[in-house]
Amino acid sequence: MEAGKGGRPGKALRLMLFASMALLLAAGSLHAAGPALDYFWLALLIPTFIVAIAYMASYAFGAPSLRAILQDELVQILATGAVALTLFGTQAAVDQYVVATLQASGAAGSDINGVMDAAAAKIGDLAAGTNGVLQNMQDVSMELGKQASKGVFCNFMGVGFSLSNCSPFNAYRGSLTASAFTTTVALSDTYAQSYILSLARNFGFTVIIPLGLLLRCFKASRGAGGALIAIGFGFYTVYPAVILATDNLLHDGPAPGAPTLPIVGKCDPMETSVSKSLSEFTDYGSQLTDYGNAKALAYFVLVRVLFLSILNLIVTLGFIRAFAHMIGSEIDVSALARIS
């Protein structure tokens, strides 16, 4: 009977040892394909070492009840190792798929090695386009102000009067100012997205995920560890993938760029024909408010830059909450979603 009771722990230990060896072999096969695994080893070896010391101490101090708890902790370390292996394998697969897809379409550059690089390049293109739109609005507004400020002062037999038939062009500057403000917000949004990607690139697989793996190995900090793993993986892998996916779903083929607003022509302040001045004013207004240009501009600034940035963040936060729940943690992202 004693042998039978002692056989179960021995069998469980042999099973866990086999699982550990399988994890080590699988991790070694991903070492070259995925991100650097240096912190991955530390995150799992430190709790394993602590559990091993405590397990030996249970024999030294005669505490058999402690060994059952430590065996459960060792199972959680193995489960955490499986989670880490899944994260690295998924990241490697996503990177290879994105690079292969971009190379097949001829859009991959020498500096794009994965989904993070592709997303950073996409945000950079959007930022450059938004900055071009803002510069174009500034040029149009300055030229409008220059032409609208032209006037003629006449003095006839001591009676002076001013002729300002170019001043109506100032009417368009108010709408341009509002559009420029919206474009500035969109440009700031691209900078914020670039900053998030930069943080994820530098700290996702080097600090946040390894720290989460370390904390998840222990019961007292398992919830916090799961939350850190979900946050790190969400912003390192899912967020850039969502940026690429949502933008490519909007259109077939190359993404359309932002249109260029027309520059006002030269206004003659000495023109005496009111009908001609009115005609110049209305003709330029028709060019400036052309439906095709307005639609393309609104699509680029409001949809591709502003709306998609909010949607990408909401999708990423939703994934983080669902993934954290899967690995034993609960995150309330409703407040963050409202901020986004």
Q: Are residues 55 and 144 in the same domain?
A: no
pLDDT above 90: percentage of residues in the chain = 23
35-71 pLDDT, tens digit each:
456 677 777 778 877 877 887 787 777 777 777 777 7
Average of pLDDT values for 17-28? Answer: 50
> Total structural domains in the chain?
2
pLDDT tens for 245-254 read 888 888 777 7
- Pair 267, 299 in one domain: yes
Mean pLDDT of the region 199-209: 89
pLDDT 10s digits, 113-127: 788 888 998 999 999
Query: Do 192 and 293 share a domain, yes or no?
Result: yes
Name the amino acid, one letter, at 330.
Answer: E
pLDDT value for 285: 86
Q: How confident is the model at residue 15 (pLDDT cuts 50, 70, 90)?
A: low
Note whether 155 and 80 are same-domain residues: no
Alpha-carbon distances, residue 136 vs 51, 126, 130, 169, 243 (angstroms): 64, 15, 10, 17, 26
- Residue 134 shares a structural domain with residue 190: yes
Span 184-197, pLDDT tens digits: 999 999 999 999 99
Could you tell me if 280 and 236 lie in one domain? yes
Specify whether 223 is located in the same domain as 300: yes
Last residue of a domain, one of 106, 126, 150: 106
Mean pLDDT for all residues in the chain: 80
Is residue 331 over pLDDT 80?
no
Task: Identify whether residues 49 and 78 lie together within a single domain.
Answer: yes
Return the higher-pLDDT residue of 47 and 142: 142
Q: Determine whether 126 is exposed, middle or buried from the number of CB atoms within 10 Å of its CB (0-12, 13-18, 19+).
A: buried
Contacts 24+ apart (CB under 8 A), 315-319: 315/238, 315/242, 315/246, 316/234, 316/235, 316/238, 316/239, 316/242, 317/234, 319/230, 319/234, 319/238
Domain-terminating residue out of 78, 106, 134? 106
149 and 235 fall within a common domain: yes
pLDDT given for residue 30 in this prediction: 44
Distance, in Å, from the CA atom of 213 to the CA atom of 207, rounded to the nearest integer, reads 10
166 and 95 within one domain: no
Domain extent at residue 236: 114-340
Residues 102 and 119 in one domain: no
How much is the pLDDT for 207? 87
191 with 321, same domain?
A: yes
End position of a domain, from candidates 53, 76, 106? 106
Residue 225 has pLDDT above 60, yes or no: yes
Res. 1 pLDDT band, cuts 50 70 90:
very low
pTM over 0.75: yes
Task: Tell me the C-alpha distance between 269 and 20, whole Å.
Answer: 85
